[in-house]
Structures are given as C-alpha cells and as structure tokens.
Amino acid sequence: MEKELAVKNLDKVITKVEASRLRVSEHHIVKIIGISKYSTAEDVKTLYEVGQRAFGENKVQDLKTKKEDLDDLPIEWHFVGRLQKNKINNLIDLSPTLMHSLDSIELAEELNKKLEAKNKKMSCLLQINSAYEDSKAGVEPSEAVSIYKYINENFENIRLKGVMSIGAHTNEREVVKKSFITTKNIFDELKPFGAKYCSMGMSSDFDLAIACGSNMIRVGSTLFK
C-alpha cells in the first residue's frame, strides 16, 4: 500500500468517526482498531507510519506472524477472531493488548486455567450475540450481565474490560441499530463492574454503531483497500 493511499484511507475513516462521535457528544472518544486479516505486514507498517496504532487479527497464527515481522514497532495488537481451545496457549504467549471474543463460560474457564499455569493475565471483552444469529458466536443478551459478573468473580486471571458484538447481518439499518442498542444497554449496566469498552461497528456500519454508543470500532476494508 502506498503511503499516499494509507493517509487518504485513514483520513476518511477519522473524518467519518469524528462526525459520528460529535453527534453523540464532544467528550465521546472512539478507538479505531485496524483489522489487518487480509493485509500484509508491510501494509500494517505503512498505516502505522501515518498514525494508526492499534491493529487486530482474527487468527492466532496471523497475529503471531505479523507481530514477529513488526516487532520493532510498538503496535497495540488485538485478537478479534473466534478462539479455538487448542490455540489458547499460543495466544497467551503473544500477550495481545485485548482479546475481543470471549464468547462463553467454557472458553473463559479454559483460558483462565491456562493463564494461571503460565502466571499471566489477559484483558478480554465478553462477546454478545445481540443479533440473535446462529452464525454468530457470543452469549445470549439475557444472560450477558450474569455471565460477565460470574467471569469477574471466578476467573481472576481474566480481566474483563467490556463487551463486543457484531451488528446484525442485514441491509436493514433499523435491525442493525436494534442489535447495537441491545449491546449498549448491557454495556451501561456493566460499567459499575469495570466495563470500559463497547466494541461494535465495522467498515459497513461503524457510523451507526458510534451513534448507538460504541467507543471502539473494528475497521478492515475501509483502511486497507
């Protein structure tokens, strides 16, 4: 990716984020995670050089490769994909800044056990299936608050930092909006329990997600095209 294109892409995203953010409140801060799953380490480096600092991968192996290739840069790495239990140790060794996809008590239990064995901690977001779609991972919205509290109380090597969800898979913005509002309401309820991030919104719908209260977006194609 040419530096000129990287600047243009990042500017476009920031401008759109700013407009959406200011409609909520001038105090509403939104963090942009560049999702680099279809891009090269070179592309990540170019975007880093023009000001993007946080990047996310959805496969443990891809995260490892890019992290090693770019280990001279102080990049903030996020893991955003579905985590298979046999890859937990590999992810722990990579020490991501934030793991976005803690989607069940079973996974939390396994992750905590392995973190304990390695004497490490990990910051995570609880993934909520607020679109009620079978194809999506995540806990049921009706159970999210109690599961969040349960993980908080029982797994001390996991540091829950908030929630994550993927907007409904449809072109009907009202349906997408409803799924975002569901997540935001849960997030608000969890703030007293340490929830700091409400991660929702991707390239196609992050403006709507921010309007619904998201403070962390995951943008891939818009940044890397």
Domains parsed from the chain with CATH numbers: 3-224 (3.20.20.10)
Ramachandran class of 140: left when φ > 0, alpha when ψ lies in -120 to 50, beta otherwise = beta
> Can you name the residues that pair with 219 across neighbouring β-strands?
34
- Residue 225 pLDDT > 90: no
Residue 170 pLDDT? 92
Beta bridge partners of 127: 164
Share of the chain above pLDDT 70, in %: 100
Looking at the predicted structure, is the pLDDT value of residue 126 above 90? Answer: yes
35 vs 135: which has the higher pLDDT: 35
Tokens describing residue 119: 């004497």
Q: 11-20, pLDDT tens digit by residue?
A: 999 999 999 9
Average pLDDT, the chain: 96
Say if pTM beats, i.e. exceeds, 0.75: yes
Mean pLDDT for 56-73 is 97
Among residues 208, 199, 204, 152, the alpha carbon closest in space to that of 56 is found at 199
Strands 76-79 and 158-164: unpaired
pLDDT at site 38: 86
By residue count, the chain amounts to 225
pLDDT at 41: 96
Confidence of residue 1 (pLDDT cuts 50, 70, 90): confident
What distance in Å separates the CA atoms of residue 63 and residue 61, rounded to the nearest whole number?
5
Rounded CA separation 121/92 (Å): 8
pLDDT classification of 189: cutoffs 50, 70, 90: very high
CA quadruple 205, 208, 210, 212: dihedral, nearest 10? -130
Give the C-alpha separation, 99 to 82, whole Å.
10
Is pLDDT of 179 > 90? Answer: yes
91: part of which helix (H) or strand (E)? Answer: helix 88-94
Q: What is the pLDDT of residue 135?
A: 87
Which two tokens mark 146? 């109690």
